[in-house]
Amino acid sequence: MTSEELLQRYEAGKRDFQDANLSGADLSGVDLWDADLRFAKLRFAKLQDADLRYANLSDADLWCADLRGAKLTDANLSGANLVGTTLCGATIDGAILDPDDIGGPGHILCALTDAEWEWVKAQRKENTT
């Protein structure tokens, strides 16, 4: 699927893009609010400033994707591959996210505020006790 096809389908009211292969796609600044992108392949995708609020990105492959400034409020990122993903300036308030999926080797975490990082650390501590 090309980024143009995805946007045409989204504008036509479609929201189900499970398993879509959008690796390397330029989706900068696009509105994909509430899109179902489970298991989507988004390696090296450019998603800067994209609106992904309430999107389901569970188990998506976001390896080395650029999510700078993306709106990920209340998005589901459980099980997503975030290795090498750039999240600088992204909004992750309320996102469903396994704390162990971020902060490891290869993760770029400049998106986290001090309060968000404290939440991650608290969740990790809670899961190990």
Q: Count other C-beta atoms under 10 Å from residue 120's C-beta.
A: 18
Expressed as residue numbers, the domain containing 106 is: 1-129
For residue range 83-114, list pLDDT tens digits in order.
888 888 888 888 888 766 665 555 555 545 66
Count of structural domains within the chain: 1
Contacts 24+ apart (CB under 8 A), 85-90: 87/111, 87/112
Could you tell me the pTM of the whole model? 0.80
Model confidence pLDDT, tens digit, residues 17-59: 999 999 999 999 999 999 999 999 999 999 999 999 999 999 9
| CATH number of the domain enclosing 125 | 2.160.20.80
Residues of the chain with pLDDT > 90, as a percent, come to 59
Helices (H), the chain: 3-11, 114-128
